[in-house]
A and B are shown apart, each in its own frame.
Chain A
């Protein structure tokens, strides 16, 4: 089992560097794969469980923590996920005073844009783990269209993708 303090630090650092539920993905992906503490399959499973489970999608890290280090991993992931959002209280107080300052406003926008840019990078790496073959790319495109259409909940689309995976790749 990985060193608990080291594991907590990686989860905590990833949350500190993120500004949304999946924003912690790039940092965790980089650190955990480099240390061989998690595999691409662990990430795929944890992200899927995170989509299916109730609550914010960001709690997918609880599943990842459990896959890496059992119950302790899950607890460490929960603690690492809940501490940084507590900063909303001082943020509200600070924002009331300084939020209108243009340089701060621009800096925060730059952070948001960088987080947005990490999503297609992760998409490339997730798909790349299996190879960029035509059936996979078609499945990615079909899932994106169904989710963007908004008629089906994302859980249902992922279930369809799983069924399609079994049908196509077997």
Chain B
């Protein structure tokens, strides 16, 4: 099978089967490309996933583009992306239609209130999970770096709760603050 067709087939399968969100999807990607097809070593996968944190948007879509690109060039990345997104998006729309069919029922409003609380719980878990890697990396770099990261994290939270600036301003401010706060550490480590 040509690498392009292989990419299309694998990603479409992942797009249709990966019920359970991003972590379920990642597990299927790892099993397909690292364990079954052996297109990448575990270390290459980890490096690719780290790289996918950099561009904006959904990291898993970037991972599809990257794996497709490395194995079959530009066409490979397009079919990988389409294979992952189109089936998932189609099922998403069908589920939304199903929701609209029952949305006028009183019981739906109650269930949605429960789900909203559940999503809020999920948000709290995601906060902890996402905060861990950057904080752990900072701790390895030393106390100054850890304190800088905690300050940026709390500052970004406080700014949004108390002043409600545009999200863009928060991101730019946090990036700039992190760069400036990192300066003494970089200076000391060079000295």
Contacts of A165 in B (CB 8 A): 110-115, 117
CB neighbors of B among A82-135 (8 A): 82-89, 91-92, 95, 102-103, 106-124, 126-127, 129-130
Contacts of A139 in B (CB 8 A): 114, 117-118, 121
Residue on B nearest A46 in the bound complex, by CB = B96
Q: How many A-B residue pairs have CB under 8 A?
A: 360
Report the bound CA distance from A66 to B179 in whole Å.
39
Contacts of A46 in B (CB 8 A): 96
Are the C-beta atoms of A59 and B96 separated by less than 8 Å? Answer: no
Are the C-beta atoms of A103 and B99 separated by less than 8 Å? Answer: no
In-complex Cβ contact of B127 among A116, A163, A169 (8 A): A116
In-complex Cβ contact of B60 among A49, A58, A129, A160 (8 A): A58
Question: Given that A46-B96, A129-B116 are known contacts, is A120 also in contact with B157, CB under 8 Å in the complex?
Answer: yes
Q: Which of B2-10, B34-42, B81-89 lies at the interface?
A: B81-89
Residue on A nearest B156 in the bound complex, by CB = A117
CB neighbors of A among B108-160 (8 A): 109-128, 130-131, 134, 137-138, 149, 152-154, 156-157, 160
In-complex Cβ contact of A85 among B55, B123, B175 (8 A): B55
Contacts of A85 in B (CB 8 A): 52, 55-59, 61-62, 64-65, 81
Are the C-beta atoms of B152 and A44 separated by less than 8 Å? Answer: no
Are the C-beta atoms of B124 and A140 separated by less than 8 Å? Answer: yes
| B96, chain A: closest CB distance, angstroms | 4
Tell me what chain B mostly uses at the interface: helix, strand, loop, or mixed: helix
Contacts of A33 in B (CB 8 A): none
In-complex Cβ contact of A103 among B14, B93, B179 (8 A): B179
Question: Given that A127-B120, A154-B21 are known contacts, is A116 also in contact with B131, CB under 8 Å in the complex?
Answer: yes
Contacts of A107 in B (CB 8 A): 175-176, 178-179
| Residue picked from B64, B125, B131, B137, most chain A C-beta under 10 Å | B125
In-complex Cβ contact of B157 among A16, A117, A127 (8 A): A117
Does any Cβ of A come within 8 Å of B174's Cβ? yes
Report the bound CA distance from A62 to B179 in whole Å.
35
Q: Give the size of the chain A interface in residues (CB under 8 angstroms).
A: 100
| A19, chain B: closest CB distance, angstroms | 6
Contacts of B128 in A (CB 8 A): 148
Are the C-beta atoms of A166 and B114 separated by less than 8 Å? Answer: yes
In-complex Cβ contact of A87 among B55, B95, B177 (8 A): B55
Contacts of A153 in B (CB 8 A): 19-20, 24
Using a CB–CB distance below 8 Å, which chain B residues touch chain A? 14-22, 24-25, 51-66, 69, 77, 81, 84-85, 87-89, 91-93, 95-97, 99-100, 103, 106-107, 109-128, 130-131, 134, 137-138, 149, 152-154, 156-157, 160-161, 166-168, 170-171, 173-179, 181-182, 186
Sample 18 A-B pairs with CB under 8 A, ordered by A number. Answer: A18-B57, A44-B115, A51-B21, A55-B84, A82-B61, A85-B57, A86-B81, A109-B137, A110-B179, A114-B170, A115-B171, A117-B154, A119-B124, A124-B161, A127-B120, A140-B118, A153-B20, A165-B111
